Amino acid sequence: MRSTKVSLWLGYLGLIPFVAAIVGFILTRDYPQSLSQHGFLIYSLAILCFLAGSAWGEALTGEEADLTPRLLVSNGVVLFAVTAMLTANPFWALILLAFGYFAYWGYERRVVEMAHAYRVMRARLTSIVIALHLCFATLVVMQSS
């Protein structure tokens, strides 16, 4: 299997933990529900940091002129994602993480060169991930009222 196909499969399979956490949040109460919420947030943090790591890797293979902005974006995304988690408020963490995905996607579209199929996949995945964050944020608000 070519690396492009592997990237596509891994990208879409990476949505499963997001969806599973939402389903767990809806179907459970007490500790399991809390675990689903924390699992979603931590997984989201991990994936956003993984994307930032990709920017770091791109910077190391790019030209010297491109190095500094890519490294700054990479570090900035991680710091932003960790700050979102430090709010200790699930609703705001979800909103801020969703914004982090949106902002990184905007950066990636403008700066990172990628194959068309990969670009389409990243657009779809980011759109779905943002929608899942907004869905979870809505569930958190509904559950607290």
Q: What is the mean pLDDT of residues 13-38?
A: 98
- % of residues, the chain, pLDDT over 90: 74
What is the distance, to the nearest Å, from the Cα of residue 85 to the centroid of all Cα atoms in its chain?
13
As given in the structure block, the two tokens for residue 9 are: 């499969």
For residue 60, pLDDT over 80 is answered with no
In the prediction, which pLDDT does 82 show?
98
For residue 48, pLDDT over 90 is answered with yes
The residue type found at 5 is K
Could you tell me the pLDDT band of residue 63, with boundaries at 50, 70 and 90? low
**Domain boundaries along the sequence of the chain:** 3-144
In the prediction, which pLDDT does 2 show?
65
Let me know: does 22 contact 132? Beta carbons within 8 Å.
yes
The total number of residues written for the chain in this structure? 145
The number of beta carbons lying within 10 Å of the beta carbon of residue 93 is 25
Could you tell me the pLDDT band of residue 83, with boundaries at 50, 70 and 90? very high
Give residue for tokens 């939402």: 22
Question: How much is the pTM?
Answer: 0.93
As given in the structure block, the two tokens for residue 26 are: 């809806």
In the prediction, which pLDDT does 57 show?
81
